[in-house]
A and B are shown apart, each in its own frame.
Chain A
Amino acid sequence: MKKLKFIGNPLLQSREKINMSSDKKWLTLKTTEDNEEFVVEESVAIMSNVIKNMVEDGCASSVIPVPRVKGNAMGKIIEFCKKHTEESDEKVLKEFDAEFLNLGPDALYDLMVSANFLEIKVLLDSVTTKVADMIKGKSSEEIRNILKIENDLSAEEIEESRRENCWTRQE
């Protein structure tokens, strides 16, 4: 069943419906992985460089298909972009971002990968900064566990690195 989502206050939905015929441009974004549709103002959607290019190239007809991004992530992304389009106070935005990024690791991860794919610089900056904060100070072993990375270093590489940087583990 297709779901048509208005992002924003449900009380405003009727007003938004009326405004749809005004000079504000609206786009429909459809996540192709799970077929969710989102109606968004163009000014909000073009925070994504990828969508911006599609609009400028004139191929944004009625519905823009967005691969690789799940509906959940798309919803969060639109929420972020909307806030950043509406609000200009740096302080307010900073507080919003901190609250917004209070997510579980899976959701944070999805958001990061999606922001990277959609080329939303501001969001990518915020998420990667948060992830960097989360991993700093951890040992390489912990990093490997958290991010499921295989240790493929040779014995010599490990030995050399250990020798150079043994002091970082002592302090």
Chain B
Amino acid sequence: MARIRPNPTLSDDLIREILVRVPVKSLLQFQLVSKTWLSLIKDPGFVKAQLRRAIATETDQTLIMTRETYLTDTENATLQFSVFDVDSRQIVADLKYPYTQGESEQVGPAFTLVGSVNGIVCVVFHHNLSEHSFYLWNPATRQSRVVPACALSTSRAMGFGYDPVDDDYKIVSVVSGPSLPTEVYSANRNVWRKVPDEDYKIVMSGIDFLGNFNVCVNGLLFGVKKDALMVFDLNTEVLNCAIKLPRDVAAAIAAARAVTAAAVGGLNIVNSYEAHPKTRIIEYTKSVAVIMLWANALNDDRTGKGFNKAINMWKLEDDSCLRGGGVEASWTLIFSIDLGMPTELFNGYFSNGDLLLLIGYEDYRWISCNARKKEARIARVYILEDHRYTRYLYRYTESLVSLAGFKQISWNRGYGDN
């Protein structure tokens, strides 16, 4: 490239304007240009500005995803974190691991991807039923740190999110049970804290199964369980399980329960399980939406395999119900599409007007639902044909964010090879 005319007064603010538009990997290299560039790139204000711009101008959304591995399946498990580009529907990068080479034996292959926000990813490795290691990790800068240990029960919902009020990254663990024991880790304080029972909002009775907190929006973590939303406020650290899902979801669950009750009297038990709706919460235009896959007709449309399913998606009309105060949630049905076949729902992601869903039984496939046209079609996705690979879908934005205590992950040559 030809030389730009030499100019000793390329002003600092101009350098900033240019660098805030440069990808993270190049920025890491540009730290070697000069003292000015080094201090600029490391400046926390610049890091925030770069992140803000990356999120605002994100035309191409990328997701971080991984295979789910279980303690019972560690022989067959291979560790794999990948970045998936929603637009081109391809894996664009394979990330290695949040720990250094020396630690690889200690962590073992069973893990859960807890969440991803602002370029920081939270992964927990399970050594056994009660010992776990949490890592906070920036894959773009290849830095990470271990979080102090916390005894976790297996039957829990976990979430990772960002509190914009205190500029803090937090991990939440909620255990199922009548009082929902909750522990919160704060990166700023570097300590776990048990949330006192009195801090909870109204908890609906009979909570026995918790999903994970899949979505972090506006400083709130969202999960779904049966017919209620679980909302955890990352700033006040209060858990709210009293926000009801759309009425139709409750009706579907009630209908499914009726089927189950009848199943005792002679219907196929397997089919009664299939009748239960699967619900997922997803991020939708700066708020949240609920997608539900359920049997659209419990009695008549059964094929040999099971109930034909329909996909419904509701958006949350108004955020005010989320902050407590007893405001009732109001949901609007965006679409209802009859898939015309029995299937299982694994996950969903909304991007550019289309809802991408991972569904299937033995043959896992992606379908794309267009809300406006109310149609669903098979989406061509160039990805491994393994559903476990796409169990977690968290939005991922490369950033320079560095948390206190972050260390460089150092490996031998093998780390960077793909």
The answer to whether A and B assemble together is yes
Is B142 among interface residues, defined by CB-CB distance under 8 A? Answer: yes
Chain A contact-residue range equals 35 or more
Is A9 among interface residues, defined by CB-CB distance under 8 A? Answer: no
Is A5 among interface residues, defined by CB-CB distance under 8 A? Answer: no
Is B2 among interface residues, defined by CB-CB distance under 8 A? Answer: yes
* With contact pairs A136-B23, A168-B29 given, residues A153 and B2 touching in the complex (Cβ less than 8 Å): no
Is B11 among interface residues, defined by CB-CB distance under 8 A? Answer: yes
Query: What is the interface of chain A, defined by CB distance below 8 A to chain B?
Result: 104-106, 108-109, 112-113, 116, 124, 128-129, 131-140, 143-153, 157-158, 161-165, 167-171
* With contact pairs A128-B21, A129-B21 given, residues A161 and B4 touching in the complex (Cβ less than 8 Å): no
CB distance from A62 to the nearest CB of B (A): 31
* With contact pairs A136-B26, A139-B29 given, residues A170 and B34 touching in the complex (Cβ less than 8 Å): no
Residue of B nearest to A106 (CB): B5
Instruction: Report the separation of the CA atoms of residues A153 and B41 in the bound assembly, to the nearest whole angstrom.
Output: 14
Instruction: Report the separation of the CA atoms of residues A140 and B17 in the bound assembly, to the nearest whole angstrom.
Output: 18
Neighbouring A residues of B34 by C-beta, 8 Å: 144, 149-153
Interface flags for B1-36 (1: CB within 8 Å of A; 0: not) read 111111110110110011101110110111111110
Question: In the bound complex, do residue A134 and residue B1 qualify as a contact, i.e. CB atoms below 8 Å apart?
Answer: yes
Question: In the bound complex, do residue A105 and residue B2 qualify as a contact, i.e. CB atoms below 8 Å apart?
Answer: yes
Residue of A nearest to B3 (CB): A146
Number of B interface residues in the complex (CB < 8 A): 35
Neighbouring A residues of B7 by C-beta, 8 Å: 109, 113, 147-148
CB distance from A107 to the nearest CB of B (A): 10
9 contacts between A and B (CB under 8 A): A104-B2, A134-B1, A144-B34, A146-B4, A164-B28, A165-B28, A167-B415, A170-B416, A171-B416
**Majority secondary structure, A binding face:** helix
Question: In the bound complex, do residue A143 and residue B21 qualify as a contact, i.e. CB atoms below 8 Å apart?
Answer: no
CB distance from A148 to the nearest CB of B (A): 4
Q: Which of B25, B34, B142, B415 has the most CB of A within 10 A?
A: B34
Question: In the bound complex, do residue B10 and residue A143 qualify as a contact, i.e. CB atoms below 8 Å apart?
Answer: no
Neighbouring B residues of A137 by C-beta, 8 Å: 26
Instruction: Report the separation of the CA atoms of residues A133 and B7 in the bound assembly, to the nearest whole angstrom.
Output: 20
Is B128 among interface residues, defined by CB-CB distance under 8 A? Answer: no
Instruction: Report the separation of the CA atoms of residues A169 and B416 in the bound assembly, to the nearest whole angstrom.
Output: 10
Question: In the bound complex, do residue A163 and residue B22 qualify as a contact, i.e. CB atoms below 8 Å apart?
Answer: no
Question: In the bound complex, do residue B408 and residue A105 qualify as a contact, i.e. CB atoms below 8 Å apart?
Answer: no
Neighbouring A residues of B341 by C-beta, 8 Å: none
* With contact pairs A128-B17, A128-B21 given, residues A140 and B30 touching in the complex (Cβ less than 8 Å): yes
Neighbouring A residues of B29 by C-beta, 8 Å: 139-140, 165, 168-169
Instruction: Report the separation of the CA atoms of residues A140 and B26 in the bound assembly, to the nearest whole angstrom.
Output: 9
Q: Which of A143, A146, A147, A162 has the most CB of B within 10 A?
A: A147
Question: In the bound complex, do residue A153 and residue B28 qualify as a contact, i.e. CB atoms below 8 Å apart?
Answer: no
Neighbouring A residues of B25 by C-beta, 8 Å: 168
